[in-house]
DNA sequence: ACTTTGACTTGCA
DNA sequence: ATGCAAGCCAAAG
């Protein structure tokens, strides 16, 4: 399976009300430093019909909604997260409460 | 075909 | 503790 498909699979595995980081996903697919690739994959998702993938649950390691500008509107991302009972601390997601770590490989 | 950049992260100075 | 540089994979110019 391609890295993209693997990334999509993991992002789809993110439970509602939780978020994860690019780094964790990258590590989960095997590429530790490939966090940027995750961004590329999600970018492809945003432009394609892969809308079944909750890319709004993916934030950077600080909990910042780095990819919000790639949505229809910069507010959609936060609104969707809030709709899933995700709490925010200022402009960032409350990581200590909602950080979800994907299943890591050995 | 080669270079640059991108929704990032980690490490060394 | 803050600042700069490198690393990773893929796509666009």
Query: Any atom of strand B under 7 A from CB of A62?
Result: yes
Distance in Å, residue A99 CA to nucleotide B6 C1'? 24
Strand B contact with A36 (CB < 7 A): yes
Measured to protein CB atoms, the chain C nucleotides within 7 Å are 7-11
Q: Catalytic residue at A55?
A: yes
Question: What three-state secondary structure class fits A55?
Answer: helix
The pLDDT of A80-103, averaged and rounded, is 95
How many other C-beta atoms can be found within 10 angstroms of the C-beta atom of residue A6? 16
A21 pLDDT band (50/70/90 cuts)?
A: very high
Enumerate domains of chain A plus CATH numbers. 3-98 (1.10.10.10)
**What's the whole-number mean pLDDT along residues A73-101?**
94
Residues A29-77 pLDDT 10s: 888 778 899 999 999 988 887 778 999 999 999 999 999 999 989 999 9
pLDDT on residue A31: 82
How many CA atoms are closer than 13 Å to the CA of A57, on its beta-carbon side?
28
Q: What is the mean pLDDT of chain A?
A: 91
In terms of Cα–Cα distance, which of A3, A97, A105, A4 is closest to A59?
A97
The separation between CA A36 and the C-alpha centre of its own chain, rounded to angstroms, equals 12
DSSP A90: T
Nucleotide at minimal C1' distance from the A37 CA: C9
Which nucleotide is nearest, taking the CA of residue A70 and each C1'?
B7
């Amino acid at each position: 399976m391609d890295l993209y498909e693997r990334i999509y699979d993991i992002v789809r595995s993110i439970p509602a009300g939780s978020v994860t980081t690019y780094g964790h996903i990258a590590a989960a697919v095997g590429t530790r430093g490939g966090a940027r690739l995750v961004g590329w994959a999600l970018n492809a998702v945003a432009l394609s019909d892969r809308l079944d993938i909750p890319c709004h649950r993916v934030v950077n390691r600080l909990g910042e909604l780095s990819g919000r500008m790639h949505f229809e509107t910069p507010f959609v991302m936060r609104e969707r997260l809030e709709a899933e009972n995700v709490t925010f601390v200022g402009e960032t997601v409350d990581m200590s409460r909602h950080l979800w770590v994907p299943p890591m490989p050995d």
